[in-house]
Amino acid sequence: MQWMALDTWIVVVGALCAMSCALLGNYLVLRRMSMMGDAISHAVLPGLAAAYLLTGSRDSVTMFAGAAVVGVLTALLVQGLYRLGRLEEGAAMGVVFTSLFALGLILLRQAADHVDLDPGCVLYGAVELSPLDTIRLWGWDVPRAAIVNGATLACNALFVLLFYKELRLSSFDPALATALGINAQVMHYLLMTLVAATAVAAFESVGSILVIAMLIVPPATAYLLTRRLGVMIGLSLVLAALSALLGHLSAITVPGWFGFSDTSTAAMMAVAAGAIFSVACFAKSCYAWGRRGIERMSFSLRSVGEDVLAALYRRREAGDEAPVSAGALRAALARPGWTALALWDLARRRAVTRLPGGYALTPAGLRQAEELVRSHRLWETFLVNIAGQSPADAHGSAMRVEHVIDAAMQSELARQTGFPELDPHAKPIPRGSSSGGEP
């Protein structure tokens, strides 16, 4: 592999284009209109073709005008079919963009005699060739595509900065936005126009695949990783640029592994974005599973430890203050797994001490056990007196719930059950340390 200045320009063009798409794409993903991006980037085709046919020129102004008109037209037609035709939104989109795209293909074929633009180019563009078409700017030979896409990115950034809070509000709650005097409809059409213009700017250099991919994939990846809009936008821009870099790298390296020279850079950029998404999705799921598993394990360990404390307390309550062996404890527990580990943990925390005959509660352990048994018996009382359960059912539930009752819940339970002395099984409820609120 040989990296040349050419390659740098290809990556720069790709990255600029990807970033300008991703910037707007954030709002499409948030508004659940991702497929609208797909629809518009297909539908601008007749706008382009008509602009060529009408003016016979390929200059940018005509193209942007054509695209803007068609972008708004698409959005209007979809809305119209949805409202007037009572079609489901997805179906309305499907009808509109396929019809427009078909029309665009025919027009393009008519225009093909005058301009060199073929449908294939529309799909995957020619980002590889973009560095060849340069403009001299401040003594530099800058590719025209870089300037066009850079300008689009600047335009989109300006739009997002200017209307940041309006866009945010109308994405999350269009009704509230309207109530506050922000015209959500206008924001919608502005956004659609910009998407169309961005699609046109990107068309020539990278083609429509990359437009659709970059509109949706980097923002969706960012959406997975964060819940804050500002972070999401920033992250999506970084991911878009990264996709461009990785895409070009893999376009010139990966085919080599299979005996090919290279392949379409734009297509590989889309694949790279997809790969990044998959990795993010997979890593996030793994992380969530792992964290949940560790939490569950530590909770189980704590539960067993608490069960041990409660068992020791109950023996003590029954008048048997002798130390208890680990084996006897294991037999007394409903879930005896990990008892040894739990005992070690309790000993480490100085809640139990190891005596010659087995384990016994320390004063600290006794306090903890009292809290626990208090929670248990209060919960039983609550279930029986307030929720109408039978005392037999209540015990099983309390065995589970006692581990999650915190101080606030415990005092609330005590208050609601009227600060009882005895639980439904006529066992005394220990006074907790935090329960001084009794009248």
Partner 1 sequence: MGDSLTRLLFLSDYNTRVVVAGTLLFGAGAGLVGTFLLLRRRALLTDALAHATLPGIVLAFMLFAALEGGGKRLPILLVGAALSALVGMLAVVLIRRFSRLADDAALGIVLSVFFGLGMALLGMATRMETGHAAGLSSFIYGKTASMLLFDAVLIGVVALAVVLGCLLLYKEFTLLCFDSDYAAAQGWPVLLLDILLMFLVVTVTVIGLSAVGLILVVAMLVIPPSAARFWTHRLSRTLMISAAVGALSGGLGAGASALAQDLPAGAIIVLVAAALFGFSLLFGTERGLVKRAREAARLRRRIEEQHLLRAVYELLEGGKLGSAPNFPDYPLMFPPSTPKLGADPNFPGQEGVPISALLEARSWHPRQLRRAMRRATGRGLIAVLPGDACTLTTEGWNEARRVVRNHRLWELFLITHADIAPAQVDRDADRIEHVLDPDMIRKLEALLPAQTAGIPASAHELAGRGGAS
Partner 2 sequence: MNAAVPLHISDLTVAYHRKPVLWDVNIALPEGKLVGLVGPNGSGKSTLLKSVLGLVPRSSGRILVYGKPATRNRALVGYVPQRETVDWDFPVSALDVVVMGLYREIGWCVPVRRRQKEKALAALETVGLAEYAHRQISQLSGGQQQRVFLARALVQDARLYLMDEPFAGVDAATEQAIIALLLELRAAGRTVLVVHHDIQTVPTYFDHVVLLNMRVVAQGPTEDVFTEENLRRTYGGKLTLLSDAAEALARRGAQRG
Interface positions with partner 2 (CB under 8 A): 86, 292, 295-296, 299-300, 303, 379, 382, 386-389, 393, 396-397, 400-401, 403-406, 409, 412-413, 416
292 makes contact, choosing from partner 1, partner 2, none, with CB < 5 to 8 Å by partner type, with: partner 2
Nearer to partner 2 among residue 159 and residue 419 (C-beta): 419
Please count the residues of this chain forming the interface with partner 1, following the rule CB under 8 A.
62
- Residue identified by tokens 């980002």 is 127
How many other CB atoms sit within 10 Å of the CB of residue 350? Answer: 11
Q: HSE of 426 in the Cβ direction (CA atoms, 13 Å)?
A: 0
303 makes contact, choosing from partner 1, partner 2, none, with CB < 5 to 8 Å by partner type, with: partner 2
Q: Distance between CA atoms of 118 and 52, rounded to whole angstroms?
A: 13
150 makes contact, choosing from partner 1, partner 2, none, with CB < 5 to 8 Å by partner type, with: none
Nearer to partner 1 among residue 90 and residue 327 (C-beta): 90
Q: Distance between CA atoms of 258 and 417, rounded to whole angstroms?
A: 74
User: Site residues for partner 1, window 197-256 (CB under 8 A)?
Assistant: 209-210, 212-213, 215-217, 220, 223-224, 251, 255
Amino acid 132 reads L
User: Site residues for partner 1, window 17-36 (CB under 8 A)?
Assistant: 29, 32-35
CB of 203 to partner 2, least distance (A): 38
405 makes contact, choosing from partner 2, partner 1, none, with CB < 5 to 8 Å by partner type, with: partner 2
267 makes contact, choosing from partner 1, partner 2, none, with CB < 5 to 8 Å by partner type, with: partner 1
**Pattern 33-62, partner 1, x by CB under 8 A:** xxx-xx---x--------------------
Q: Which two tokens stand for residue 210?
A: 């990359």
List the one residue out of 394, 344, 400 whose CA is nearest residue 372: 400
How many other CB atoms sit within 10 Å of the CB of residue 359? Answer: 22
103 makes contact, choosing from partner 2, partner 1, none, with CB < 5 to 8 Å by partner type, with: partner 1
Nearer to partner 1 among residue 64 and residue 124 (C-beta): 124
- The maximal CA–CA distance of the chain, rounded, in angstroms, is 103
Q: Distance between CA atoms of 26 and 235, rounded to whole angstroms?
A: 10
213 makes contact, choosing from partner 1, partner 2, none, with CB < 5 to 8 Å by partner type, with: partner 1
386 makes contact, choosing from partner 1, partner 2, none, with CB < 5 to 8 Å by partner type, with: partner 2
CB of 78 to partner 1, least distance (A): 12
Cβ burial of 26 (10 Å; 0-12, 13-18, 19+) is buried
List the one residue out of 59, 49, 66 whose CA is nearest residue 117: 49
* Helix (H/G/I), strand (E/B), else coil: 426: coil
CB of 237 to partner 1, least distance (A): 18
Q: Give the DSSP letter string of 187-227.
A: HHHHHHHHHHHHHHHHHHHHHHHHHHHHHHHHHHHHHHH-S
E-assigned strands of 290-437?
Answer: 352-355, 358-361
Q: Which two tokens stand for residue 253?
A: 């390296």
CB of 256 to partner 1, least distance (A): 10
Q: Distance between CA atoms of 411 and 246, rounded to whole angstroms?
A: 58
| Distances, alpha carbon 438 to alpha carbons 120, 125, 369, 414, 418, in Å | 81, 77, 20, 9, 9
Give residues in contact with partner 1 (CB under 8 A). 29, 32-35, 37-38, 42, 81, 84-88, 90-95, 98-99, 101-103, 105-106, 109, 119-120, 123-124, 209-210, 212-213, 215-217, 220, 223-224, 251, 255, 258, 260-264, 266-271, 273-274, 277, 281, 284-285
